[in-house]
Amino acid sequence: MVNKTKDILATIHKAKNGEETSYTLLLNMFWKDIYRFLYRKTNNENEAEDLTIRTFAKAFDKIHTFDEKYEFKTWLISISSNLYIDQLRKRKTETVSINKKSAEVNKIKDDEPTPADKLIIEQNLAELLAYIKQLKPHYQEIINLRFFQEMSYKEMATTLNEPMSNIKVKLLRAKKLLAEIINKANS
């Protein structure tokens, strides 16, 4: 347990220093726990998935504020719980919100293709399209925008009318799910 905690803290430190692979590791480590927590609250797969994406987006934007005295999973659950409560409040009251752009959304670097990006790019196109069609439609769309239309995160955020941090988390999740589909088909 101590080693696992140290590994998580080391990964968080790397994420605070902007190492993109650390974000992927944290997403993979805690996705199921946060999704399960939100699914129990919402009893709706799409809503739970959307809230989970928003949770990680917010956590990654604010990772520099994480206090190591607490468990990272607990911090994520409190973020997800607050997002869920906010969503409930929005449903109860019909108010007009003003979209505010955050200057903090550009924290995750987008320099070189990651090994997962290279794998996706190098796959046989027909086979790859068949795998992509196994994803949920919103993941298909994000893969299409990024890899086939070669849009930047900013262009994708504009096209989908979503915050850039949500786009980044959705793309990380879509790539992970696509890699799982490919690995399952090749094993």
Buried b (16+ CB within 10 A) or exposed e, 7-25: ebeebbebbeeeebebbbb
For 105-186, the fitting CATH number among 1.10.260.40, 1.10.10.10, 3.40.50.2000, 3.40.50.300 is: 1.10.10.10
What band does 86 get if pLDDT is binned at 50, 70 and 90?
confident
Q: Is the pLDDT of residue 97 over 50?
A: no
The mean pLDDT value for 156-183 works out to 90
Q: Is the pLDDT of residue 114 over 90?
A: no
At 117 the pLDDT is 56
The mean pLDDT value for 126-145 works out to 88
**3-state class of 100 per DSSP?**
coil
User: DSSP assignment, residue 134?
Assistant: T
What band does 103 get if pLDDT is binned at 50, 70 and 90?
very low
Dist. CA 113–CA 36, nearest whole Å: 31
Contact 79, 26 (CB under 8 A): no
Tokens of 32: 């199921």
The rounded percent of the chain whose pLDDT value lies above 90 is 36
What band does 32 get if pLDDT is binned at 50, 70 and 90?
very high
Whole-number average pLDDT of the chain:
82
The mean pLDDT value for 97-119 works out to 52
CATH 1.10.10.10 domain span(s) along the chain: 105-186
At 100 the pLDDT is 47
CATH 1.10.1740.10 domain span(s) along the chain: 2-92
115-122 and 164-186 helices, crossing angle to 10°: 60
At 4 the pLDDT is 76
- Is the torsion defined by CA of 25, 26, 31, 32 positive or negative? positive
At 110 the pLDDT is 53
Dist. CA 72–CA 76, nearest whole Å: 6
Of 32-41, 57-66, 117-126, 173-182, which gets the smallest average pLDDT?
A: 117-126
Give the CATH number of domain 2-92: 1.10.1740.10
Of 65-69, 97-101, 109-113, 154-158, which gets the smallest average pLDDT?
A: 97-101
Tokens of 177: 């799910």
The mean pLDDT value for 79-83 works out to 90
At 3 the pLDDT is 66
* Threshold 0.75, pTM exceeds: no
What band does 125 get if pLDDT is binned at 50, 70 and 90?
low
